[in-house]
Amino acid sequence: SGDITSSCEINLNKEHTKAEVKITTTNEKCPYTIEYTIYSNNTIDMKLTFTPIVKDLRRLGIGMIFSKDFEEIDYYAKGPWENYNDRKEASFIGRYSSTVSEMFTPYAHPQSCGNRQEMREITLYKKHSNKGIKIEANQPIAFSMLHFDDTDFIKEKLHPWEMVERNEVYTHFDYIQRGVGNGSCGPQTIEKYQVPSSGTYSFTLRFSPLR
């Protein structure tokens, strides 16, 4: 909500082997910048920088939508089941394989789910193919990939069997995500697992095509 303004700067080197695009966005909750470096070999670096200015944010990160063709996932992160920054001791760093459909966790009342902490690398494949995208993070971050948008989880009186998968892959890459806490029968998320309300935070993603 509130006023949102954005600006864009584009620079291309003399050899036409690298383009740089910087998008700066201001808003009333968390101004941010996205800096793309696009190389002639089809690799793209995306540096994201966030400057939160309010409390109670859910996450510092970016949402992306991938084509329905991408279904199979290899990832290097905490797994194999979902985990969060305040619920991850029973998950372990490793290389895991899954599908986007399998990342959904069927809670009695559907809600945002499927998060994995400390992601370093993901390979997202097209179905029954070795074609895909490799996504590398320059530091451990959180990610989720589902066939559901977050807005799908806010409908009342919904059950897992009533959920209808979307074709697209809805993805989050987060510097930090608010911890789960235990608001249903106990304390809310304690301070060290909340999203900060000041400071500057950044991470970089590298997207490379699989050949």
CA–CA separation, 207 vs 59, rounded Å? 22
Q: Tell me 190's DSSP state.
A: -
Q: What pLDDT is stored for residue 183 in this prediction?
A: 65
Residue-wise pLDDT tens digits, 113-153: 999 999 999 999 998 888 999 999 999 999 999 999 999 98
Q: What pLDDT is stored for residue 3 in this prediction?
A: 82
CA-only gyration radius of the chain, Å: 18
Q: What pLDDT is stored for residue 184 in this prediction?
A: 65
Residue-wise pLDDT tens digits, 8-34: 999 999 998 999 999 999 999 999 999
Residues 6+ apart with CB under 8 A from 37: 18, 19, 20, 44, 45, 47
Q: Which of 62, 172, 157, 64 lies closest to 115 in space, CA to CA? A: 172
Rounded mean pLDDT, 165-171 = 95
Q: What is the dihedral of CA 55, 61, 64, 70, to 10 degrees?
A: -130
**Res. 1 pLDDT band, cuts 50 70 90:** very low
- Cβ-based neighbour number of residue 143 at 10 Å: 24
For the chain, give the percent of residues with pLDDT over 70: 97
Q: What pLDDT is stored for residue 48 in this prediction?
A: 98
Beta bridge partners of 177: 59
CA–CA separation, 192 vs 209, rounded Å? 37
pTM over 0.95: no
CA–CA separation, 98 vs 112, rounded Å? 18
> Tokens for 176?
């930090």
